Structure 1
Amino acid sequence: METRVTATQHRQTEPARATLGGDTQSRKEQVALALFILVPFAAVLAAVPVAWGGWLGWTDVAIAVFMYFLTCGGVTVGYHRYFTHKSFKPNRPVKIALAIIGSMAVQGPLVRWVADHRKHHKFSDRDGDPHSPWKYGESIPALWKGMWHAHIGWLFDEEQTPQHKYAPDLMKDRDLIWVSKTFWLWVLLSLALPAVIGGLVTWSWQGAATAFFWGSLVRVGLLHHVTWSINSICHTIGERPFLSRDKSANVWWLAIPSMGESWHNLHHADPTCARHGVLPGQLDASARIIWLLEKAGWVSDVRWPVKERIEARLAA
């Protein structure tokens, strides 16, 4: 006997949509995205005159630095090394914390971010890569255009990466669906927290305002462009000591602000490795955080570098 499946039953068998948007970006989403890029960037441009005018104190510096590295770690350790590449296994509280802190970096809902990055690895620097700087060719004009696309332009592509195809594991996890759906809550928390801390520490509205400027706007703007530089700069210039099928490269001067993500060549040569800076002198703060979490017993099955595996990937 033939079994008929109704539309309602079919929808019930599909995983719930895990972000605020679908596989096509709406005009409203593009406008919101532009605001969340332009406003923090304007704050970065205004940072020098604002500081020169005396609107920067040690409380602001401490809050901004703390929030920067907290949310940067949420992206590098959480969004990237765990949720995208499964470099380790966390317990449930750490998993949820990493998802929330990564969301506070204001770089998009978790599931969408992971889907984009997995597609990037599948097609790295080839047709299908969402953000390759080599998209338009290898001439100087084409490369400048490609770097702009890799840095920011790709974010406004109307066609989004299919989440069901590239992140089906995340879409089966109710915790991660909840965090992804409530992305705007974590954005508001991320923007409000510096002001609240600054106001309480200084007990003044001015302290809240300057902490918001430095710890929210400037911090988000800087983190945006450091993260996007991995897409644009680290696929264009730098050293390539390891064999990979793309143009991923190491850029040493981005290592500290990116918490080790700019050792990008090894990452593309061995994507699931929990440490990206594997050569002597390569600082990798994200790997150190994973190491501390492992020592605390909160994560397990960490995929640390294996000497033979690393040596096999070294270029001749």
Structure 2
Amino acid sequence: MSHQTGITADEELQSFFGQHKQDHRLIKVSIKEEKLVLADSATPQGTWEDDYDAMVLPALEEKQPCYILYRLDSMNELGYEWIFLAYSPDFAPVREKMLYAATRATVKKTFGGGQIREEVFGTVPTDVSFSGYKAHVVAQSAAAPLTFAEEELKLVKETETNHHINVNSKHQTVQGVAFPISDEVLNSVERLRQGAVNYVQIRIDLENETIELDNCEDTDAESLNSRFPTDHARYHLFLYQHSHEGDYLQSLVFLYSNPEYKCPIKERMLYSSCKSTLLDALESQMHLEITKKLEVSVGSDIVNDQYLYDEVHPPKNVAKRAFDKPKGPTRKGPKRLTKPAVNE
């Protein structure tokens, strides 16, 4: 979810959006003195394809972020459809980039989100050029490949049976063991969903076979390692707040911490068996949108901000070199140690 800065459009920009935007092909918006202002505009000269690079590229500045609204020739029930371009060059001041990223949603809301057909983010001119826009459209229409774990989760969700989860229920819904969930866990998860806290730690009561709350308080990514018990397994829900491609995001991460041989075998088996049913309850019954599910070993100190960022936003298009077939011998048969005799 995006955070807001409190910056709003000045009277000139609001009036322009309300009365003149349909007559223009391009509208450039900037932030000046903590206000959204009209920086530039242009009327149509040809088709939207012909006008695109001729209008968009000259409007960009080398080290200055901006928003550009570009009008298409297609229409919907609200009027012309638009492309929203958020340009934030790499060499712009960090404060400027953060300010523009956090105000992005306000611009779309002020303009009218129902008329925006596509949204493109760029850090260099080629990202928001006509060819860059076409590449964006192709990428958006392509289905993302699923990992083996995602395929397995999809299959489980397609075959599962929904049920009501509360402290008195104990039913089998998906493969694994289902223990009843305490009211404390339900209340804490609801607070997490509403953003009142950003971290919840959950444990299994081995004697009573119930899911109980262990901890519910704010923390940060760099402190997560210190919250993993060294002799017991635990489940963790962490609301990871970070910036990605110009947007501030909050991604919900589920972690299963496992101290391995320091934890009793029975406990490890129960935590492993209950994980899928607990996740099912969190997502299906409690309506949590979990971005990433991770299993980590306690004591490795790998869980930090960079680790979570790489897991939530894995690198794209990483080419893997194919395995080279070993070369065969350069000659056939064993090497001769003596020269053959020469017949006189």
Q: TM-score, normalised by structure 1?
A: 0.25
Structure of higher RCO (CA pairs closer than 8 Å, 6+ residues apart): 1
Higher strand share: 2
Larger radius of gyration: 2
Higher helix share: 1
